[in-house]
Amino acid sequence: MASPRRSRPTVGVVLLEPIGIVRASLRMLFDAEPDVRVVGEADRAEDALEVATTLPSNSNVVVLVGLEFAGERDALWLIRSIRDRSPQLTILATGTDLTHSAISQALFVGADGFVHKNSPPERFLEATRRAAGGELVLEGLPRGALGGIVDGVEQHRASTPVLTEREQTVLASAADGLTARELGRRLGVSERTITTHLNNIYRKLGANGRVSALSTAMRLGMLSLAPADSNHPGEQRQFVAG
């Protein structure tokens, strides 16, 4: 007797897309699937950030960010801001620009993958499901493009501070020896968010723990020791974000 087919876990999708017809088409695509639910959408960067960062921290959500957001608060600003505020969310950049630079910049600032908007609907859907499952997704790239994108990410990493402002704050606070729960209380976020931030910090710095991460961050100039208070000579100096 054949075993019953397992139902797929429901995936929530947030559509952050400035082009109305594209947003409507994606909504129709996802609404036709029983295991996918559109849980939010926006066409302005400020509204998009609000929509994406007010979701429950335990949501199984993929945020699709159109690279066509332009201006001072463009798509890169939006991706970095979402990653900084809600590190547990999965972010997929979407666009029609296949230049190595555009895609590598999106990945560097925090996207978990890229999907070309000209991808066949079934490939677009599958890429979204795979991203929700934790895969790094690069869908619709031309043959041979991966090497250039990887090189671009490494170039950005070599020339730009790798920790976001929020991650620097978390790491500086972690130097006090607080648990993730205590850090969450201090910074006003959940324990899970702190744990995600710390894991991202360790991965970016190639560290295996707090001590190693603090040492690397100080060497790179991301953190420094605050001057000792002359009025309280016995107090331990604190780390501050650089």
pLDDT of residue 232: 43
Whether residue 59 is found in the same domain as residue 115: yes
pLDDT of residue 1: 45
Whether residue 147 is found in the same domain as residue 170: no
Whether residue 63 is found in the same domain as residue 21: yes
Per-residue pLDDT of the chain (242 residues; tens, 9 = 90+): 444 445 678 899 999 999 999 999 999 999 999 999 999 999 999 899 999 888 876 568 999 999 999 888 899 889 988 888 888 889 999 998 767 677 878 887 788 889 999 999 999 999 999 999 988 888 887 665 555 555 555 555 555 556 788 888 898 888 888 889 999 999 999 999 999 999 888 887 767 788 878 877 776 667 765 544 444 444 444 455 54
Whether residue 85 is found in the same domain as residue 138: yes
Whether 200 contacts 170, CB under 8 Å: no
Whether residue 151 is found in the same domain as residue 172: no
Domain end (from 159, 185, 210): 159
- For residues 221 and 57, give the distance between their C-alpha atoms in angstroms, rounded to a whole number: 31
pLDDT of residue 125: 96
Q: Identify the domain containing residue 144 by its residue range.
A: 11-159
pTM: 0.66
Distance from first CA to last CA of the chain, Å, rounded? 63
Q: Classify residue 5: in a domain, yes or no.
A: no
pLDDT of residue 3: 47
pLDDT of residue 163: 78
Whether residue 52 is found in the same domain as residue 138: yes
pLDDT of residue 48: 94
Domain end (from 102, 127, 159): 159
- Taking the CA atoms of residue 150, residue 155, residue 160 and residue 161 in that order, the dihedral angle to the nearest 10 degrees is 60
Whether residue 45 is found in the same domain as residue 146: yes
Whether residue 155 is found in the same domain as residue 169: no
Whether residue 145 is found in the same domain as residue 187: no
- For residues 116 and 11, give the distance between their C-alpha atoms in angstroms, rounded to a whole number: 20
Query: Domain containing 228 — which CATH number?
Result: 1.10.10.10
- For residues 129 and 64, give the distance between their C-alpha atoms in angstroms, rounded to a whole number: 12
* Number of independent structural domains in the chain: 2
Whether residue 65 is found in the same domain as residue 132: yes
pLDDT of residue 185: 92
Whether residue 183 is found in the same domain as residue 67: no
Domain end (from 138, 159, 180): 159
Whether residue 66 is found in the same domain as residue 25: yes
Both structure tokens of 23: 């947003």
Q: Classify residue 191: in a domain, yes or no.
A: yes
